[in-house]
Structure formats: structure tokens, C-alpha cells
Amino acid sequence: MEIILISAAFIAGFIALKCNLPPLVGFLLAGFGLKMAGFSSNDTIITLADLGVTLLLFTIGLKLDLKTLLSKEIWAGASIHNLLSTLLFSAALLCLKVLGVGSLAAMSLEQIVLLGFALSFSSTVFAVKSLQEKGELNATYGTIAIGILVMQDIFAVVFLTVSTGKLPEWYAIILFALPLLRPLFYKLLDWVGHGEMLVLFGIFFALVVGAGLFELVGMKADLGALILGMLLAGHKKASELSKSLFNLKELFLVCFFLNIGLSEQPTLAGFALALIFMLMLPLKGILYFLVLNSFKFRVRTSLLSSLSLFNYSEFGLIVGGLAFKMGWMSGDILVALAIAVSISFILAAPINRQGHALYQRSGRWLKEHAAEKLHARDQLINPGQAQILILGMGRIGTGAYDELLNRYGKVCLGIEVREEAANTHKHHGRNVISGDATDPDFWERILDTGNVKLVLLAMPHHQGNQIALEQLRLRNYQGQIAAIAAYPDQIDTLVENGVDAAFNIYSEAGSGFARHVCEQLRPNFEKP
């Protein structure tokens, strides 16, 4: 049984990849195909799927700044959209009920509102995977989308808790002590090192300390994994821990997408109702854009965030499954929800891949806010007298900045996509601003680059450096460009596209280490 499921998932995922679609689309289709062939999910698949979602929320927490959730555009934006979309979907479904459409005709007003609520959610799993594949998880629009999704997850957990009538146990109050234990958690993370113990630490904290503890006190396990991740987010090894869990999480999520396809037998009535749900999907995307744009974000930020959220959610299935179990929803509605979620993923995948191109076509006729009224995260950029731009202020970019500062003085301006990291650099006296160098509008926001003579492409993703290089060429930049790469073929590509100098980070690290040893220790060797 498991061999057939794994084989089908691999073949379908491979075909989707060759069709320039995310593999998850193939996994969904494989699940539907297997269900139609008479297969069904089992305890192993369900358990691995649950583990995948739990680890996903844990790794989201590792990258999440609590201040992001507390920002007005996140908590208010998510709340306003959830309320408006529920009302809008409920009104549309009520009209269809009056017209006597399918299973909707037999539903009460309360059940219609519940279905509208289920349709209002967007998929955390899909959005995170899509943003990761594009290397834009930390972009401004990516952090906004993830923040809204986390708020939606919290809404869903609250609903599931209230609707089941199961209140947390009285001793759930001990959870408030978790922040006090953060120093101990940090010490443990320091002690486990960097190998297999780091991976085991992540699994232990996500599944036992987080999910297990919250389930023990009568709360949603996934919420516990998310909160434990957030508690560890400030540690210097949080990023390394997230990367160490990446492949394991991805493997488990294959089972999650298979399980969606295997959840219900597709029916003609279900397909018909799912198509109606799909016709309503643009309403959700338009609402996202209007809500985000009302917070004075640029058109691009609002549009790309909306496209990342342009789908139905697995949480909608969870809400629908609970309603079906309690007799609030018919089986046809649940089937339609499952099909609509899957089709929305298939539709959203190519749309997200073409997000930048869609913006360039539509941005001309979408009205932009006046420059002085833009959100603080989208303000115009003045490079001042900087002669060197360093795009990406990670370890390599920071090292380059400090070296150039020692050689030439204060001639550098660092660009860092993560706002909190940019603020840390400022605290240490570096001239760094927050910005997304892969964003075409980022270059439009720069007032003048006339003084810039050298640009260093030091972002961790090769695709990001390529996009920034393309933007420089489009702006007819005449200065010198240097870039980092991880593989020889990437160096060749960068040079072909106009980079003046490209450096392999691994070979350069080795020569830099040897140079540092010779300068510091000054060893006295006899020549052979």
C-alpha cells in the first residue's frame, strides 16, 4: 500500500515539476487519482501528514518576529479580511440557496455562514512552499502574507476549540510560564551542537514540548508548535535549526497533500459545487488587495501578497470535517470543499510563479499612493553619498562591508530584506537600510544611484542575485558589479549576464581562512 502511494507521489510530482508546476500539484492529483482507483488514506499517511504540518508551523515560528503579528496591518488586516470575506461568501451562498442550487438549498443560515467562514481561509502550507521556492519568504510582501496566515491559523484554532465545546484544562495556565523558560531553551539549543542532535532537538521541541504539552492541557497541538518556534526565534541558531528540519518537513508534507486527495471520493455534484466555489475565489483576492492597499502599501506589495493568499485552505477542510462530523454539513459540501482546495492550489501555482510579470502588466493601471503617504516599509530610498551598494547583509555581506569600511571608509550602503536584521546592523553603526533588492519597485524607490560605482550581489539565493542583476541592467547601471555563487555553473551564468567578477563562496572561504591564519599566526616554515 505505502509503496504504491510513494510511487504515485513521485511520478506525479516529477511530471508536475517538468510542467513547470510545483510538485505539490502532482501530489494532489496523485491523491485524487488513487482515490478514484479505490485507494484510501491510512493511519501512517495521516500521522506523517500531521507531523508535516506541525513541523511547518514550528519552522514558521522560528522565522517569525512577534512584533510582526502586533503590527496593525497584520492583526487588523487579517481580522477585517476574515470578517468581510465571511460575510461576502455567506451572501453569495445564500443567493445560491434561494435559487435552490444543489446541497446548499437544504442548509440553514447558520450552516451557510459556517461554510463562508471555512472558505475565508487561505493555505499556510501552499503560501510558505511557494514563497520558499521563489526565495522570497523574507520579502516585505512575504512577511505580510505569512503574518496574515498565522493570524488566520489562530482564528481557526479558536473556532475548533469553541465549536467542540472542549475548553482548555484549568492547568493550561502553566503555558504562561513558557516565556520564562526561554533562557533554558536557549541554553539547550547552544549545547546540542550542529549535527543530528540539532535535528532531534527541533523534532523534540516541535512534537513533544510544543504539540504534546498543548494537547495535554486541552489545546490545539499545532498552535503549541508555532508558539515554541516563536520562543526560539530570537536565538542565533534559529535559522540553522530551520534549515536542518527543511528536508524532513518537506517529506512529511508530501503525505499531507496526498492525504487531501485521498480524503473524499470525487462526485459530479461535488465537482459542480467546487466550480461554484472557484468562481467565488476572485472575490477573496480582490478583498485582500483592497484591505492591504488601504494600509498604504505599494501596489506591488499589495498585489503579490494577495496572489500568495489567492487559494482556499486546508484549514477550511478541517473546519468542514468538524462540521460534517457534527451533522452541520453534508458529505457533498465536504467533497466540494476538498476539490475546491485542490483546484485552487493548481490554479494558484502558475499565477504565483508569474506574480512579478502580472504586476508589471497590471501595475500601470492600478493607482499608486502618493510617495509621502506610503507605509514606512515602502518609503522612497535615498542612498546619499554611498559609492558601494551591498545587496544582502548576511554573513558574507557583513564581512564585505566591514572590510571595505576598513579600506575606504564610510562609502558603503547595505541593503537587507529583513527589517529586524537591518535594525541590528544600524545598532552596530553600519549604514544599512531595509529593502528587497529583488523587487523591481525597490529600484524605482531609489532616488539617485549616480554616486554608486560598485554593487556587490551578496544575497544567499542565486535566483535573487540574478533578479537584482537584471534590474541593474534594466536601469542601465554603468558601474562595476561583483557577485557570490555556490557552484561553478552559477558563476558562468553570472558572468554571461554581465557581472564583472564572480566568486565561489566555498573556495573563497578556504583562501580567506588561509590568509587570515598567515596574517594572525605568521608561521615560520622552511621552504622545501
Please state, in angstroms and rounded to a whole number, the distance separating the CA atoms of residues 436 and 423.
Answer: 15
Residue type, 364: R
Domains and CATH numbers, the chain: 1-363 (1.20.1530.20), 388-521 (3.40.50.720)
In 354-384, which residue ranges form alpha helices assigned H by DSSP? 355-362
The set of residues, in sequence order, having a beta carbon less than 8 Å from that of 328 and lying 6+ positions away, is 110, 111, 114
Closest CA to 258 of 33, 35, 30: 30
Please state, in angstroms and rounded to a whole number, the distance separating the CA atoms of residues 383 and 67.
Answer: 27
Please state, in angstroms and rounded to a whole number, the distance separating the CA atoms of residues 306 and 85.
Answer: 13
Residues of the chain below pLDDT 50: none
The set of residues, in sequence order, having a beta carbon less than 8 Å from that of 352 and lying 6+ positions away, is 130, 134, 307, 308, 310
pLDDT at 91: 94
Q: Output the CA–CA distances (angstroms, integers) from residue 376 to 56, 163, 309, 381, in the order listed.
A: 30, 39, 23, 11
In 19-139, which residue ranges form alpha helices assigned H by DSSP? 23-36, 43-62, 66-70, 72-98, 109-119, 124-134
Please state, in angstroms and rounded to a whole number, the distance separating the CA atoms of residues 390 and 258.
Answer: 43
Q: HSE-up of 466 (CA within 13 Å, CB side)? A: 14
Q: Is 502 helix (H, G, I), strand (E, B) or coil?
A: strand
pLDDT at 255: 86
pLDDT at 138: 67
pLDDT at 528: 61
What nine digits make up the cell of 203? 523534532
Angle at CA 451, nearest 5°, toward 446 and 453?
105
1-25 b/e (C-beta count within 10 Å ≥ 16 → b): eeeebeebbeebbeebeeeebbbbb
pLDDT at 239: 82
pLDDT at 284: 93
What nine digits make up the cell of 173? 495556565
pLDDT at 31: 85
Please state, in angstroms and rounded to a whole number, the distance separating the CA atoms of residues 371 and 392.
Answer: 25
165: left (phi over 0), alpha (psi -120 to 50) or beta: left
pLDDT at 444: 66
pLDDT at 430: 92
How far from the centroid of its chain's Cα atoms is residue 35's Cα? 29
What nine digits make up the cell of 337? 470543499
In 245-371, which residue ranges form alpha helices assigned H by DSSP? 246-262, 268-293, 299-308, 314-325, 331-353, 355-362
Please state, in angstroms and rounded to a whole number, the distance separating the CA atoms of residues 387 and 384.
Answer: 9
Q: Output the CA–CA distances (angstroms, integers) from residue 146 to 182, 353, 452, in the order listed.
A: 24, 17, 34
Closest CA to 378 of 422, 435, 303: 435
Q: Which helix (H) or strand (E) holds 229?
A: helix 221-232
pLDDT at 46: 84
Q: Hey, which residues does 433 pair with through a beta bridge?
A: 415
With contact defined as beta carbons under 8 Å apart, do 259 and 45 qualify? yes
Give helix 299-308 / helix 331-353 axis angle, nearest 10°: 140
